[in-house]
Amino acid sequence: MFWQLLPQFLVAGVTNGSIYALIGLGFCLIQNATGLVNFAQGDFVMLGAMVAISLMHAAEIPMIIAFPASIALVALVAVALEQGPLRLSRNRDILTLVMITVGASISFRGSSMMLWGKNAHIFPPLGGETPIVLWSAAILPQTLWILAISVVVLGLLYLFFHRTLLGKAVRAAADNPRGALLIGISVRKVVALAFALAGALGALAGILVTPVTSMSFDGGLMLGLKGFSAAILGGYGSTLGAVVGGLLLGILESLGAGFISSAYKDAFAFLILLGILFVRPAGLFGSARVKRV
C-alpha cells in the first residue's frame, strides 16, 4: 500500500513545494536587497489570485491577458509599499521597517475582505480537469503547468542575475550597498526592482495555486508562512536554498499528511523547520557569518 500511494504523494509534494519555492524566492530577494523580512509577501500571493479573478470575471478579460496584468499590478503594489511607507519612514531601524510590513499585511487583508468578501474564490485550471495517470499517480494538467512555469521562472531568474548587467548590479548592491554606490549603481532603484520581482513572484504563485486550492482574503497568510519556512530551511537569503527548501518542505509535508494525519498538515512545515534548524541553524545552504567588532 505504501509504494502504491508514494508516487501520488510525491507529485502533490513537488507541486506544493514549487509554490513554496516561488514565495520563498520573494522573501530572499527582499532580504538580499534590504535586509528586511517582508511579512506582506504572502499577501502578494493572495492579491495576485484575487486581481486575476476580478479581471476575468468582473471585467471579462481573457485569461491570457488577465494573468500577466495581475502580476504587473501586484508588482506595482509591492513597489508602492517600498516607495511609500518603507522609504518614507523616519525611523530606519530594521525592526521598525519589519513592523511596517506587518501593518501592510494586515491592511492588505482587511481591504481584500471588504473588496472581495470572506468567501473562497477559484478559477478554472489550465488544461482542463482530466488527470493524466502515470506510475499510479493521477497528475492534473494544472500540476504540469505549475511545474513547467516554475522551472522556466527559476531559469529566467538565474539568467537574469548571472548573465545580465542589471542582474549583476542587483547582486552587487545586495552584497555591498556602499561599494555599489561608489561605482554608480543606484541602490534605490535596485531595491525597488527587488520589491517588484518579489511582488511578481508572489502573484504568480497565487495564480498557479488557486485552481488547486482556491483563494480567500486570508489565504496568503499560511502560504506566506510556508514560503518563509522554505527560505529559512534552505538558508535565508540563498536563492538555491529557497528552491531546495521549498521542494523539500512540500514533499515532507505531503508524506506526513498522507502517512501520519492530514489534520496536522500545516503543522508539519513548522515542525520540519524547527527540527532542521536545531541541527543546522543557518539552514541547508546558509553559512554562519562572523562580524568583527
Domains by residue range for the chain, with CATH = 2-279 (1.10.3470)
pLDDT at 205 over 90: yes
pLDDT tens per residue across span 41-91: 999 999 999 999 999 988 889 989 999 999 999 999 999 999 999 988 878
Average pLDDT over residues 118-134: 82
Q: Which residues contact 152 (CB under 8 A, 6 or more apart)?
A: none
Size of the chain in residues: 293
pLDDT tens per residue across span 171-183: 888 778 788 888 8
> In terms of Cα–Cα distance, which of 240, 245, 232 is closest to 282?
232
Between 237 and 109, residue with greater pLDDT? 109
Rg (CA), the chain: 19
- The model's pTM is 0.90
Compute the distance between CA of residue 104 and CA of residue 98 in angstroms, rounded to an integer. Answer: 10
Contact 118, 216 (CB under 8 A): yes
Compute the distance between CA of residue 45 and CA of residue 224 in angstroms, rounded to an integer. Answer: 8
Compute the distance between CA of residue 24 and CA of residue 32 in angstroms, rounded to an integer. Answer: 12
The set of cell numbers assigned to 83 is 516607495
